[in-house]
A and B are shown apart, each in its own frame.
Chain A
Amino acid sequence: MHLSPDEIIFWQYGFFKLNATIVFTWGIMLILAVGATLITRKLSIGLQRARWQNVLEIVVLAVEEQIEDVGLANPRRYLSFLATLVLFLATAALCTIIPGYQPPTGSLSTTVALALCVFVAVPFFGIRERGLGSYLRSYAQPTIIMLPFNIISEISRTLALAVRLFGNMMSGTMIIAILLTITPFIFPIVMMALGLLTGMVQAYIFFILATVYIAAATRVRTAETAMAQNQ
Protein backbone atom coordinates (compact mmCIF):
# COMPACT_ATOMS: atom_id res chain seq x y z
CA MET A 1 0.00 0.00 0.00
CA HIS A 2 1.56 3.21 -1.22
CA LEU A 3 0.59 6.52 0.21
CA SER A 4 1.78 8.36 -2.92
CA PRO A 5 2.44 7.33 -6.50
CA ASP A 6 5.88 8.81 -6.03
CA GLU A 7 6.76 5.63 -4.22
CA ILE A 8 6.17 3.48 -7.30
CA ILE A 9 9.49 3.84 -9.04
CA PHE A 10 9.98 2.27 -12.46
CA TRP A 11 13.54 3.36 -13.16
CA GLN A 12 16.16 5.24 -11.16
CA TYR A 13 19.60 6.55 -11.93
CA GLY A 14 21.03 8.43 -8.96
CA PHE A 15 18.97 11.58 -8.46
CA PHE A 16 16.94 10.97 -11.62
CA LYS A 17 14.07 8.60 -11.32
CA LEU A 18 10.97 7.67 -13.28
CA ASN A 19 8.10 7.14 -10.84
CA ALA A 20 4.37 6.58 -11.41
CA THR A 21 3.57 10.27 -10.90
CA ILE A 22 5.72 11.35 -13.82
CA VAL A 23 4.61 8.48 -16.03
CA PHE A 24 0.90 9.09 -15.49
CA THR A 25 1.42 12.81 -15.95
CA TRP A 26 3.00 12.07 -19.29
CA GLY A 27 0.07 9.86 -20.13
CA ILE A 28 -2.38 12.66 -19.34
CA MET A 29 -0.27 15.12 -21.34
CA LEU A 30 -0.25 12.70 -24.25
CA ILE A 31 -4.02 12.25 -24.14
CA LEU A 32 -4.64 15.99 -23.95
CA ALA A 33 -2.12 16.97 -26.62
CA VAL A 34 -3.05 14.24 -29.10
CA GLY A 35 -6.76 14.78 -28.50
CA ALA A 36 -6.44 18.53 -29.01
CA THR A 37 -4.38 18.02 -32.16
CA LEU A 38 -6.84 15.54 -33.62
CA ILE A 39 -9.85 17.69 -32.86
CA THR A 40 -8.38 21.01 -33.96
CA ARG A 41 -6.82 19.56 -37.13
CA LYS A 42 -9.95 20.26 -39.12
CA LEU A 43 -11.87 23.02 -37.40
CA SER A 44 -14.99 24.38 -38.94
CA ILE A 45 -15.71 28.09 -38.83
CA GLY A 46 -19.19 27.55 -40.23
CA LEU A 47 -22.35 26.89 -38.28
CA GLN A 48 -21.95 23.11 -38.72
CA ARG A 49 -19.20 21.61 -36.57
CA ALA A 50 -18.05 18.30 -35.17
CA ARG A 51 -19.19 17.15 -31.72
CA TRP A 52 -15.67 17.12 -30.24
CA GLN A 53 -15.05 20.60 -31.51
CA ASN A 54 -18.28 21.65 -29.92
CA VAL A 55 -17.21 20.08 -26.59
CA LEU A 56 -13.86 21.84 -26.68
CA GLU A 57 -15.47 25.16 -27.60
CA ILE A 58 -17.87 24.81 -24.69
CA VAL A 59 -15.02 24.04 -22.26
CA VAL A 60 -12.79 26.87 -23.48
CA LEU A 61 -15.60 29.42 -23.55
CA ALA A 62 -16.81 28.33 -20.09
CA VAL A 63 -13.32 28.80 -18.64
CA GLU A 64 -13.02 32.16 -20.37
CA GLU A 65 -16.37 33.21 -18.97
CA GLN A 66 -15.39 32.10 -15.46
CA ILE A 67 -12.18 34.12 -15.61
CA GLU A 68 -14.12 37.15 -16.75
CA ASP A 69 -16.68 36.63 -13.97
CA VAL A 70 -13.96 36.62 -11.35
CA GLY A 71 -12.94 40.03 -12.58
CA LEU A 72 -10.06 39.74 -14.98
CA ALA A 73 -10.58 42.24 -17.74
CA ASN A 74 -8.69 40.43 -20.48
CA PRO A 75 -9.39 36.71 -19.98
CA ARG A 76 -7.51 35.46 -23.06
CA ARG A 77 -4.20 36.62 -21.56
CA TYR A 78 -4.64 34.16 -18.65
CA LEU A 79 -6.57 31.49 -20.50
CA SER A 80 -3.60 29.25 -21.41
CA PHE A 81 -2.36 28.92 -17.84
CA LEU A 82 -5.71 28.67 -16.03
CA ALA A 83 -7.48 26.44 -18.58
CA THR A 84 -4.52 24.07 -18.59
CA LEU A 85 -4.82 23.82 -14.82
CA VAL A 86 -8.48 22.89 -15.10
CA LEU A 87 -8.01 20.44 -17.95
CA PHE A 88 -5.05 18.72 -16.31
CA LEU A 89 -6.72 18.40 -12.90
CA ALA A 90 -10.06 17.30 -14.38
CA THR A 91 -8.43 14.71 -16.62
CA ALA A 92 -6.36 13.42 -13.73
CA ALA A 93 -9.51 13.04 -11.64
CA LEU A 94 -11.54 11.51 -14.46
CA CYS A 95 -8.95 8.86 -15.15
CA THR A 96 -9.41 7.36 -11.70
CA ILE A 97 -12.08 5.14 -13.23
CA ILE A 98 -9.30 3.32 -15.11
CA PRO A 99 -8.12 0.32 -13.04
CA GLY A 100 -4.51 0.50 -11.95
CA TYR A 101 -4.36 4.21 -12.51
CA GLN A 102 -2.81 6.36 -9.83
CA PRO A 103 -3.79 10.03 -10.14
CA PRO A 104 -0.65 12.22 -10.26
CA THR A 105 -2.55 14.77 -8.23
CA GLY A 106 -2.59 12.26 -5.40
CA SER A 107 1.10 12.96 -5.01
CA LEU A 108 2.11 15.93 -2.87
CA SER A 109 4.98 16.53 -5.27
CA THR A 110 2.58 17.25 -8.12
CA THR A 111 0.32 19.50 -6.07
CA VAL A 112 3.33 21.34 -4.70
CA ALA A 113 4.57 21.77 -8.26
CA LEU A 114 1.23 23.18 -9.38
CA ALA A 115 1.01 25.43 -6.32
CA LEU A 116 4.52 26.68 -7.07
CA CYS A 117 3.43 27.41 -10.60
CA VAL A 118 0.56 29.51 -9.22
CA PHE A 119 2.96 31.05 -6.71
CA VAL A 120 5.16 32.18 -9.61
CA ALA A 121 2.33 33.06 -11.95
CA VAL A 122 0.64 35.48 -9.54
CA PRO A 123 3.60 37.92 -9.35
CA PHE A 124 4.39 37.25 -13.00
CA PHE A 125 0.97 38.42 -14.15
CA GLY A 126 0.88 41.13 -11.49
CA ILE A 127 4.19 42.61 -12.61
CA ARG A 128 3.24 42.28 -16.27
CA GLU A 129 0.03 44.18 -15.63
CA ARG A 130 1.19 46.80 -13.15
CA GLY A 131 4.94 47.04 -13.46
CA LEU A 132 7.50 45.85 -10.88
CA GLY A 133 7.40 48.84 -8.53
CA SER A 134 3.68 49.03 -8.31
CA TYR A 135 3.42 45.31 -7.71
CA LEU A 136 6.03 45.33 -4.94
CA ARG A 137 4.39 48.32 -3.32
CA SER A 138 1.15 46.39 -3.09
CA TYR A 139 2.78 44.19 -0.42
CA ALA A 140 3.13 47.28 1.82
CA GLN A 141 -0.52 48.19 1.50
CA PRO A 142 -2.31 49.66 3.35
CA THR A 143 0.79 50.24 5.64
CA ILE A 144 4.33 48.98 5.76
CA ILE A 145 3.43 46.98 8.85
CA MET A 146 1.36 44.69 6.69
CA LEU A 147 4.40 43.66 4.59
CA PRO A 148 5.36 40.53 6.59
CA PHE A 149 1.76 39.46 6.87
CA ASN A 150 1.26 39.82 3.16
CA ILE A 151 4.33 37.73 2.47
CA ILE A 152 3.22 35.06 4.99
CA SER A 153 -0.24 35.08 3.38
CA GLU A 154 1.33 34.56 -0.05
CA ILE A 155 3.33 31.54 1.10
CA SER A 156 0.65 30.03 3.29
CA ARG A 157 -2.02 30.18 0.61
CA THR A 158 0.30 28.41 -1.80
CA LEU A 159 0.88 25.73 0.78
CA ALA A 160 -2.86 25.50 1.38
CA LEU A 161 -3.49 25.07 -2.33
CA ALA A 162 -1.04 22.20 -2.53
CA VAL A 163 -2.15 20.38 0.60
CA ARG A 164 -5.89 20.83 -0.11
CA LEU A 165 -5.66 19.24 -3.52
CA PHE A 166 -3.30 16.52 -2.37
CA GLY A 167 -5.45 15.64 0.63
CA ASN A 168 -8.62 15.37 -1.37
CA MET A 169 -7.19 13.37 -4.24
CA MET A 170 -5.12 11.11 -2.02
CA SER A 171 -8.02 10.49 0.32
CA GLY A 172 -10.19 9.47 -2.61
CA THR A 173 -7.82 6.77 -3.75
CA MET A 174 -7.08 5.75 -0.20
CA ILE A 175 -10.74 5.32 0.72
CA ILE A 176 -11.39 3.22 -2.38
CA ALA A 177 -8.35 1.10 -1.63
CA ILE A 178 -9.40 0.54 1.98
CA LEU A 179 -13.03 -0.14 1.07
CA LEU A 180 -11.99 -2.65 -1.56
CA THR A 181 -10.30 -4.70 1.19
CA ILE A 182 -13.23 -4.67 3.60
CA THR A 183 -16.50 -4.39 1.67
CA PRO A 184 -18.19 -6.18 -1.21
CA PHE A 185 -17.71 -5.01 -4.75
CA ILE A 186 -20.66 -2.67 -5.12
CA PHE A 187 -19.89 -0.14 -2.41
CA PRO A 188 -16.49 1.06 -3.70
CA ILE A 189 -18.19 2.01 -6.99
CA VAL A 190 -20.37 4.49 -5.12
CA MET A 191 -17.29 5.85 -3.44
CA MET A 192 -15.59 6.05 -6.82
CA ALA A 193 -18.46 8.18 -8.13
CA LEU A 194 -18.10 10.36 -5.07
CA GLY A 195 -14.36 10.52 -5.74
CA LEU A 196 -15.05 11.68 -9.31
CA LEU A 197 -17.27 14.44 -7.98
CA THR A 198 -14.65 15.42 -5.40
CA GLY A 199 -11.99 15.47 -8.12
CA MET A 200 -14.06 17.76 -10.34
CA VAL A 201 -14.84 20.05 -7.42
CA GLN A 202 -11.20 20.19 -6.45
CA ALA A 203 -10.17 20.98 -10.01
CA TYR A 204 -12.67 23.81 -10.04
CA ILE A 205 -11.55 25.06 -6.60
CA PHE A 206 -7.90 25.02 -7.57
CA PHE A 207 -8.66 26.88 -10.78
CA ILE A 208 -10.92 29.48 -9.21
CA LEU A 209 -8.48 30.16 -6.36
CA ALA A 210 -5.62 30.65 -8.80
CA THR A 211 -7.80 33.01 -10.79
CA VAL A 212 -8.78 34.97 -7.70
CA TYR A 213 -5.13 35.30 -6.65
CA ILE A 214 -4.14 36.54 -10.08
CA ALA A 215 -7.11 38.88 -10.18
CA ALA A 216 -6.18 40.26 -6.77
CA ALA A 217 -2.61 40.82 -7.92
CA THR A 218 -3.65 42.63 -11.10
CA ARG A 219 -6.80 44.40 -10.04
CA VAL A 220 -5.18 46.83 -7.61
CA ARG A 221 -3.79 48.61 -10.55
CA THR A 222 -7.20 49.43 -11.91
CA ALA A 223 -8.26 50.69 -8.49
CA GLU A 224 -5.18 52.89 -8.32
CA THR A 225 -5.76 54.16 -11.82
CA ALA A 226 -9.32 54.97 -10.94
CA MET A 227 -8.15 56.85 -7.84
CA ALA A 228 -5.50 58.70 -9.86
CA GLN A 229 -8.11 59.62 -12.41
CA ASN A 230 -10.44 60.87 -9.67
CA GLN A 231 -7.67 63.04 -8.21
Chain B
Amino acid sequence: MLVDWFTVAAQVVNFVILVWLLKRFLYQPILRAIDAREQRIARSLADAAAKETEAETERDAFRRKNEAFDQQRAALLDRAADEAKAERQRLLDEARQAAEVLRAKQQEALQREQQSLNDEVARRTRAEVFAIARKALNDLSGTSLEAHMSEIFVERLRALDDEARQRFAGTLKTSAHPVRVRSAFELTPEQRDGIQAALNETLAADVQVRFETAPEVIAGIELTTDGQKIAWSIADYLRSLENSVGELLTKRAEPEAKAETPQQSGPAAAPGEAP
Protein backbone atom coordinates (compact mmCIF):
# COMPACT_ATOMS: atom_id res chain seq x y z
CA MET B 1 0.00 0.00 0.00
CA LEU B 2 1.68 3.23 -1.20
CA VAL B 3 -0.67 5.60 0.59
CA ASP B 4 -0.34 5.82 4.33
CA TRP B 5 -3.44 7.67 5.49
CA PHE B 6 -1.91 8.85 8.73
CA THR B 7 0.93 10.39 6.79
CA VAL B 8 -1.59 11.94 4.41
CA ALA B 9 -3.40 13.57 7.30
CA ALA B 10 -0.17 14.69 8.90
CA GLN B 11 1.03 16.16 5.61
CA VAL B 12 -2.23 18.03 5.15
CA VAL B 13 -1.84 19.49 8.62
CA ASN B 14 1.81 20.24 7.93
CA PHE B 15 0.92 21.98 4.69
CA VAL B 16 -1.77 24.08 6.32
CA ILE B 17 0.69 25.07 9.06
CA LEU B 18 3.29 25.91 6.43
CA VAL B 19 0.79 28.05 4.59
CA TRP B 20 0.02 29.97 7.77
CA LEU B 21 3.71 30.32 8.70
CA LEU B 22 4.74 31.60 5.31
CA LYS B 23 1.77 33.92 5.13
CA ARG B 24 2.67 35.30 8.54
CA PHE B 25 6.44 35.56 8.06
CA LEU B 26 6.96 35.84 4.32
CA TYR B 27 4.18 37.09 2.11
CA GLN B 28 2.68 39.75 4.32
CA PRO B 29 5.96 41.49 5.25
CA ILE B 30 7.35 41.23 1.76
CA LEU B 31 4.19 42.55 0.12
CA ARG B 32 3.95 45.34 2.69
CA ALA B 33 7.54 46.30 1.98
CA ILE B 34 6.92 46.26 -1.78
CA ASP B 35 3.76 48.33 -1.42
CA ALA B 36 5.50 50.79 0.87
CA ARG B 37 8.36 51.14 -1.58
CA GLU B 38 5.99 51.65 -4.47
CA GLN B 39 4.09 54.26 -2.52
CA ARG B 40 7.32 55.94 -1.61
CA ILE B 41 8.48 55.98 -5.21
CA ALA B 42 5.10 57.28 -6.35
CA ARG B 43 5.24 59.93 -3.64
CA SER B 44 8.74 61.00 -4.58
CA LEU B 45 7.72 61.08 -8.25
CA ALA B 46 4.71 63.20 -7.37
CA ASP B 47 6.96 65.42 -5.25
CA ALA B 48 9.37 65.74 -8.13
CA ALA B 49 6.53 66.60 -10.49
CA ALA B 50 5.20 69.17 -8.03
CA LYS B 51 8.67 70.62 -7.61
CA GLU B 52 9.13 70.72 -11.35
CA THR B 53 5.83 72.53 -11.74
CA GLU B 54 6.82 74.93 -9.00
CA ALA B 55 10.22 75.44 -10.56
CA GLU B 56 8.60 76.08 -13.92
CA THR B 57 6.23 78.57 -12.36
CA GLU B 58 9.10 80.28 -10.62
CA ARG B 59 11.17 80.21 -13.78
CA ASP B 60 8.30 81.78 -15.71
CA ALA B 61 7.83 84.39 -13.02
CA PHE B 62 11.54 85.08 -13.01
CA ARG B 63 11.59 85.36 -16.78
CA ARG B 64 8.67 87.74 -16.71
CA LYS B 65 10.38 89.82 -14.06
CA ASN B 66 13.57 89.81 -16.06
CA GLU B 67 11.75 90.98 -19.17
CA ALA B 68 9.99 93.69 -17.23
CA PHE B 69 13.30 94.72 -15.77
CA ASP B 70 14.89 94.81 -19.19
CA GLN B 71 12.07 96.91 -20.56
CA GLN B 72 12.27 99.24 -17.60
CA ARG B 73 15.99 99.55 -18.00
CA ALA B 74 15.64 100.25 -21.73
CA ALA B 75 12.98 102.86 -21.00
CA LEU B 76 15.17 104.45 -18.35
CA LEU B 77 18.14 104.45 -20.71
CA ASP B 78 16.04 106.02 -23.45
CA ARG B 79 14.78 108.65 -21.09
CA ALA B 80 18.27 109.32 -19.80
CA ALA B 81 19.54 109.61 -23.36
CA ASP B 82 16.72 112.01 -24.24
CA GLU B 83 17.39 114.04 -21.15
CA ALA B 84 21.09 114.12 -21.91
CA LYS B 85 20.33 115.24 -25.46
CA ALA B 86 17.99 117.95 -24.22
CA GLU B 87 20.53 119.01 -21.61
CA ARG B 88 23.25 119.12 -24.25
CA GLN B 89 21.00 121.20 -26.52
CA ARG B 90 20.22 123.51 -23.63
CA LEU B 91 23.89 123.88 -22.71
CA LEU B 92 24.78 124.48 -26.34
CA ASP B 93 22.06 127.11 -26.62
CA GLU B 94 23.22 128.72 -23.41
CA ALA B 95 26.80 128.72 -24.58
CA ARG B 96 25.78 130.09 -27.93
CA GLN B 97 23.71 132.80 -26.32
CA ALA B 98 26.54 133.64 -23.95
CA ALA B 99 28.91 133.71 -26.90
CA GLU B 100 26.54 135.96 -28.81
CA VAL B 101 26.13 138.31 -25.86
CA LEU B 102 29.89 138.37 -25.42
CA ARG B 103 30.36 138.95 -29.11
CA ALA B 104 27.77 141.69 -29.12
CA LYS B 105 29.43 143.31 -26.15
CA GLN B 106 32.79 142.98 -27.77
CA GLN B 107 31.49 144.41 -31.00
CA GLU B 108 29.85 147.22 -29.15
CA ALA B 109 33.06 147.96 -27.27
CA LEU B 110 34.95 147.77 -30.51
CA GLN B 111 32.53 150.12 -32.18
CA ARG B 112 32.71 152.44 -29.21
CA GLU B 113 36.45 152.30 -29.41
CA GLN B 114 36.31 152.88 -33.13
CA GLN B 115 33.90 155.71 -32.54
CA SER B 116 36.10 157.29 -29.95
CA LEU B 117 39.09 156.73 -32.19
CA ASN B 118 37.23 158.37 -35.02
CA ASP B 119 36.22 161.18 -32.72
CA GLU B 120 39.74 161.55 -31.49
CA VAL B 121 41.09 161.49 -35.02
CA ALA B 122 38.51 164.03 -36.09
CA ARG B 123 39.16 166.21 -33.05
CA ARG B 124 42.87 166.06 -33.50
CA THR B 125 42.62 166.64 -37.22
CA ARG B 126 40.40 169.60 -36.56
CA ALA B 127 42.80 170.93 -33.92
CA GLU B 128 45.77 170.35 -36.19
CA VAL B 129 44.03 171.96 -39.13
CA PHE B 130 43.11 174.99 -37.11
CA ALA B 131 46.50 175.13 -35.45
CA ILE B 132 48.08 175.10 -38.89
CA ALA B 133 45.63 177.66 -40.11
CA ARG B 134 46.23 179.85 -37.07
CA LYS B 135 49.95 179.46 -37.47
CA ALA B 136 49.81 180.23 -41.15
CA LEU B 137 47.59 183.25 -40.63
CA ASN B 138 49.80 184.39 -37.72
CA ASP B 139 52.80 184.13 -39.91
CA LEU B 140 51.03 185.92 -42.71
CA SER B 141 49.77 188.78 -40.57
CA GLY B 142 51.97 191.65 -41.30
CA THR B 143 51.75 195.46 -41.35
CA SER B 144 49.91 195.70 -44.57
CA LEU B 145 47.46 193.04 -43.52
CA GLU B 146 47.02 194.85 -40.18
CA ALA B 147 46.36 198.08 -41.90
CA HIS B 148 43.93 196.45 -44.19
CA MET B 149 42.21 194.79 -41.26
CA SER B 150 41.76 198.08 -39.37
CA GLU B 151 40.24 199.50 -42.50
CA ILE B 152 37.81 196.66 -42.79
CA PHE B 153 36.94 197.09 -39.12
CA VAL B 154 36.26 200.76 -39.61
CA GLU B 155 34.11 199.97 -42.61
CA ARG B 156 32.16 197.51 -40.59
CA LEU B 157 31.61 200.00 -37.83
CA ARG B 158 30.24 202.43 -40.29
CA ALA B 159 28.15 199.84 -41.99
CA LEU B 160 26.29 198.98 -38.77
CA ASP B 161 22.53 199.21 -39.26
CA ASP B 162 20.44 201.57 -37.18
CA GLU B 163 19.13 198.97 -34.76
CA ALA B 164 22.59 197.73 -33.85
CA ARG B 165 23.83 201.21 -33.65
CA GLN B 166 21.02 202.22 -31.20
CA ARG B 167 21.63 199.13 -29.04
CA PHE B 168 25.33 199.80 -28.99
CA ALA B 169 24.80 203.46 -28.07
CA GLY B 170 22.45 202.42 -25.27
CA THR B 171 24.99 200.09 -23.85
CA LEU B 172 27.70 202.66 -24.00
CA LYS B 173 25.66 205.20 -22.06
CA THR B 174 24.86 202.84 -19.20
CA SER B 175 28.31 201.26 -18.98
CA ALA B 176 30.93 202.65 -16.64
CA HIS B 177 33.78 200.95 -18.35
CA PRO B 178 35.35 202.30 -21.45
CA VAL B 179 35.07 200.48 -24.79
CA ARG B 180 37.79 197.87 -25.19
CA VAL B 181 39.43 197.41 -28.53
CA ARG B 182 41.58 194.26 -28.59
CA SER B 183 43.92 193.44 -31.41
CA ALA B 184 46.57 190.85 -32.03
CA PHE B 185 49.05 193.46 -32.99
CA GLU B 186 49.95 196.88 -31.73
CA LEU B 187 47.75 199.39 -33.55
CA THR B 188 49.49 202.35 -35.02
CA PRO B 189 48.28 205.82 -33.81
CA GLU B 190 46.72 206.40 -37.22
CA GLN B 191 44.81 203.28 -37.03
CA ARG B 192 43.74 204.15 -33.44
CA ASP B 193 42.59 207.56 -34.54
CA GLY B 194 40.72 206.11 -37.46
CA ILE B 195 38.86 203.64 -35.21
CA GLN B 196 38.18 206.40 -32.65
CA ALA B 197 36.84 208.68 -35.34
CA ALA B 198 34.68 205.99 -36.85
CA LEU B 199 33.24 205.16 -33.44
CA ASN B 200 32.54 208.76 -32.65
CA GLU B 201 30.94 209.20 -36.05
CA THR B 202 28.87 206.09 -35.89
CA LEU B 203 27.57 206.60 -32.39
CA ALA B 204 27.52 210.35 -32.58
CA ALA B 205 29.22 210.63 -29.23
CA ASP B 206 32.66 210.97 -27.73
CA VAL B 207 33.54 207.42 -26.92
CA GLN B 208 36.32 206.54 -24.51
CA VAL B 209 38.41 203.76 -26.00
CA ARG B 210 41.02 201.55 -24.42
CA PHE B 211 43.35 199.79 -26.77
CA GLU B 212 44.76 196.38 -25.80
CA THR B 213 47.01 193.88 -27.49
CA ALA B 214 45.89 190.21 -27.34
CA PRO B 215 47.72 187.63 -29.50
CA GLU B 216 44.78 185.11 -29.32
CA VAL B 217 42.84 187.40 -31.53
CA ILE B 218 44.47 186.16 -34.67
CA ALA B 219 44.87 188.78 -37.21
CA GLY B 220 41.88 190.82 -36.27
CA ILE B 221 40.32 193.55 -34.20
CA GLU B 222 37.64 193.17 -31.59
CA LEU B 223 35.52 195.81 -29.86
CA THR B 224 33.74 194.88 -26.68
CA THR B 225 31.57 196.72 -24.20
CA ASP B 226 29.33 195.20 -21.52
CA GLY B 227 27.55 192.46 -23.43
CA GLN B 228 28.10 193.95 -26.89
CA LYS B 229 30.81 192.97 -29.29
CA ILE B 230 31.86 194.00 -32.74
CA ALA B 231 34.69 192.02 -34.14
CA TRP B 232 36.49 191.08 -37.18
CA SER B 233 39.25 188.56 -36.88
CA ILE B 234 40.35 185.33 -38.45
CA ALA B 235 40.03 183.75 -35.00
CA ASP B 236 36.36 184.54 -35.20
CA TYR B 237 36.06 182.92 -38.56
CA LEU B 238 38.07 179.94 -37.38
CA ARG B 239 35.87 179.61 -34.27
CA SER B 240 32.71 179.63 -36.27
CA LEU B 241 34.24 177.20 -38.76
CA GLU B 242 35.33 174.95 -35.88
CA ASN B 243 31.86 175.05 -34.46
CA SER B 244 30.28 174.12 -37.75
CA VAL B 245 32.81 171.28 -38.39
CA GLY B 246 32.23 169.93 -34.86
CA GLU B 247 28.47 170.03 -35.47
CA LEU B 248 28.95 168.20 -38.73
CA LEU B 249 31.06 165.46 -37.09
CA THR B 250 28.57 164.84 -34.28
CA LYS B 251 25.76 164.77 -36.81
CA ARG B 252 27.61 162.24 -38.92
CA ALA B 253 28.54 160.02 -35.94
CA GLU B 254 24.91 159.75 -34.80
CA PRO B 255 23.54 158.19 -38.02
CA GLU B 256 26.54 155.84 -38.17
CA ALA B 257 25.75 154.51 -34.68
CA LYS B 258 22.12 154.15 -35.70
CA ALA B 259 23.08 152.30 -38.85
CA GLU B 260 25.37 149.87 -37.05
CA THR B 261 22.87 148.83 -34.35
CA PRO B 262 20.84 146.46 -36.57
CA GLN B 263 24.07 144.72 -37.59
CA GLN B 264 24.72 143.86 -33.93
CA SER B 265 21.49 141.87 -33.63
CA GLY B 266 22.32 139.65 -36.54
CA PRO B 267 25.64 137.93 -35.80
CA ALA B 268 23.89 134.56 -35.18
CA ALA B 269 23.76 134.23 -38.95
CA ALA B 270 27.54 134.01 -39.03
CA PRO B 271 28.70 132.57 -35.65
CA GLY B 272 32.07 131.48 -37.00
CA GLU B 273 32.99 135.00 -37.91
CA ALA B 274 35.59 136.46 -35.56
CA PRO B 275 34.33 139.67 -33.97
Contact = CB atoms under 8 A, between A and B. Distances in A.
Interface of A: 3-4, 6, 15-17, 19, 21-22, 25-26, 29, 32-33, 36-37, 40, 43-47, 53, 56-57, 60-61, 76, 79-81, 83-84, 87-88, 104, 107-110, 112-114, 116-117, 166
Interface in B1-21: 2-12, 14-19, 21
Contact of B30 (A15, A47, A57, A108): A57
- With most chain A CB atoms within 10 A of its CB, the pick from B4, B9, B29, B41 is B4
B37 A112 contact: no
14 contacts: A6-B7, A15-B6, A17-B6, A19-B4, A25-B11, A29-B17, A32-B22, A36-B25, A46-B37, A80-B27, A108-B2, A110-B8, A113-B9, A116-B8
Contact of B26 (A17, A26, A60, A107): A60
Contacts of A79: 27, 31
A107 B7 contact: yes
Contacts of A114: 11, 15
B34 A22 contact: no
Contact of A116 (B12, B17, B32): B12
Contact of B22 (A15, A87, A166): A87
Main secondary structure of the interface of A (DSSP, over half): helix
B23 interface: yes
A113 B11 contact: yes
Given A43-B33, A113-B10, 7 more contacts: A26-B14, A46-B37, A47-B41, A53-B30, A76-B31, A80-B23, A113-B9
A44 B14 CA distance: 30
A45 B27 contact: no
Given A21-B7, A22-B10, A114-B15, A43 B22 contact: no
B22 A84 contact: yes
Contacts of A21: 7, 11
B21 A32 contact: yes
B239 interface: no
- With most chain A CB atoms within 10 A of its CB, the pick from B9, B14, B40 is B14
A40 B30 contact: yes
B76 interface: no
B36 interface: yes
